[in-house]
Amino acid sequence: MSGDVEQVAGWVRDARQIALLSGAGMSAESGVPTFRDAQTGLWAKFRPEELATEDAFRANPQMVWDWYAVRREMIAKVEPNAGHLAVAAFQRRHPNRLTVVTQNVDGLHQRAGSPGVLALHGNIAQDKWLDAPGDCCTHMEPVAGRPPRCAKCGNMRRPAVVWFGEMLPARELQAAEEAARRCDLMLVVGTSGAVYPAAGLARIARGKVVVVNPHASELDDAADVVLRGTAAALLPQLLEEGPG
Ligand code: APR
């Protein structure tokens, strides 16, 4: 274990309250592509404004629906990695000591067994109505299709994720800000720190901030320690009970 990893593992042992802010890199070793990694990131191949905005969906609902369908299928086939599992195991051993705040819509923290995950950007496995549902929408089965629609008013179903330009869910964001303000330690894992308000949580953290990322991120300047490594390799070292 390197000196820095050892030091952070000591901070973990001493911390009463830990907040873990995760991004797409947390799931990279499960086989879920990140967004901004050069070449491999989704945004290297697709234009977010053409796929992850309400306007894009209204302009071309089938294309957007199909793109999410492909991601859903891919995510359903992967498993939580050693990083997700180490976090969930720590939470089982130490209830109410670690809060998971994630930008990920893949549900892998939840599938690893982490309780009370604050999913700031929603969940790709769920749908919701695009427009406020009328009685017709809620009382009849939507007509199958890509996307499914209300048989009466044509209201469309959409992935229950937060698109660019949309507000984050208020309850989750408020709870995440509270977790940041009361933490003794914040682990910032696998995020480029490019997207706000999620990235802002690392800047309001009361405790020490540790970035876990194999590459430089926009939150390195907010960190007390930067660990250049991967989530699946480092989190087990940081969170597993040391000797004695
Ligand atoms: N372990 C840890 N970090 C990793 C790993 C890994 N195995 N592999 C890559 N990373 C790092 C990358 O270096 C990068 O800094 O993960 C980060 C992923 O950054 P992004 O692709 O920008 O993803 P994220 O920060 O989660 O994006 C934020 O933007 O596109 C929107 O809504 C989407 O939630 C997403 C938000």
Rg (CA), the chain: 19
What is the reported pTM? 0.95
Q: Are 51 and 124 contacting, i.e. CB atoms less than 8 angstroms apart?
A: no
Question: Is 215 annotated as contributing to ligand binding?
Answer: yes
- Report CA(145)–ligand 1 centroid distance (Å): 32
For residue 198, the ligand 1 atom closest to its alpha carbon is: 28
How far is Cα 30 from Cα 16, in angstroms, rounded to an integer?
29
* Residues with active-site annotation: 121
pLDDT-derived band of residue 44, with 50, 70 and 90 as boundaries? confident
Nearest-atom index, ligand 1, CA of 217: 15
Q: What three-state secondary structure class fits 173?
A: helix
Q: With contact defined as beta carbons under 8 Å apart, do 149 and 131 qualify? A: no
User: Residue 98: its pLDDT value, please?
Assistant: 98
Best of 30, 84, 192 for a ligand 1 pocket test (most atoms within 8 Å of beta carbon): 192
**How much is the average pLDDT of 103-120?**
98
Tell me, what's the pLDDT at 38?
63
The finding on whether 149 has its CB within 6 A of some atom of ligand 1 is no
**Residue 35: band (very low, low, confident or very high) from pLDDT cuts 50, 70, 90:** confident
pLDDT at 230: 98
DSSP character at residue 156: B
**What residues have CB less than 8 Å from 200, skipping those under 6 apart?**
none
Query: Would the CB of 214 count as within 6 Å of ligand 1?
Result: yes
In the chain, the amino acid numbered 43 is W
Ligand 1 mean position to 192 CA, how many Å?
A: 5
pLDDT at 244: 47
Ligand 1 centroid to Cα of residue 191, in Å, is 4
- Helices 82-93, 231-239: axis angle to 10 degrees equals 20
Any bridge partners for residue 196, and if so which?
none
71 is in an annotated binding site: yes
Confidence band for 51, pLDDT divided at 50, 70 and 90: confident
- Residue 8 CA to ligand 1 centre (angstroms): 21
The boundaries of every CATH 3.40.50.1220 domain in the chain are 3-32+80-121+168-239
- In the structure, what pLDDT confidence band is assigned to residue 242 with cuts at 50, 70 and 90? low
Q: Which fold has domain 33-77+125-161?
A: SIR2/SIRT2 'Small Domain' (3.30.1600)
Burial of 92-101, coded b for 16+ CB within 10 Å and e otherwise, reads eeeeeebbbb
- Asked whether residue 96 is marked as a ligand-binding residue, the answer is no
Question: Is 142 labelled a binding residue?
Answer: no
- Is residue 155 classed as helix, strand or coil in its secondary structure? coil
Name the CATH code of domain 3-32+80-121+168-239 (choices 3.40.50.720, 3.30.465.10, 3.40.50.970, 3.40.50.1220): 3.40.50.1220
Q: Is the pLDDT of residue 138 over 60?
A: yes
Using the Cα atoms of residue 108, residue 110, residue 116 and residue 118 in order, give the sign of their dihedral.
Answer: positive
Q: Compute the distance between CA of residue 122 and CA of residue 119 in angstroms, rounded to an integer.
A: 5
61-101 per-position pLDDT tens digit: 999 999 999 999 999 999 999 999 999 999 999 999 999 99
Dist. CA 44 → ligand 1 center (Å):
13
| d(C-alpha 231, C-alpha 211), whole Å | 10
193-239: pLDDT as tens digits: 999 999 999 999 999 999 999 999 999 999 999 999 999 999 999 99
Residue 214 labelled as part of a binding site: yes
Mean of pLDDT values over 40-67 = 85
Cβ of 190 less than 6 Å from ligand 1: yes
| Count of other CB atoms within 10 angstroms of residue 72 | 16
Q: 213 CB under 6 A from ligand 1?
A: yes
Beta strand segments in 96-219, E? 98-102, 118-119, 122-129, 157-161, 185-189, 208-212
Which of 14-28, 99-113, 171-185, 228-242 is predicted least confidently?
228-242
Q: Does residue 243 have a pLDDT over 80? A: no
* Average pLDDT for the chain: 94
pLDDT above 90 coverage of the chain, percent = 86
Chain region(s) in the chain for CATH 3.30.1600.10: 33-77+125-161
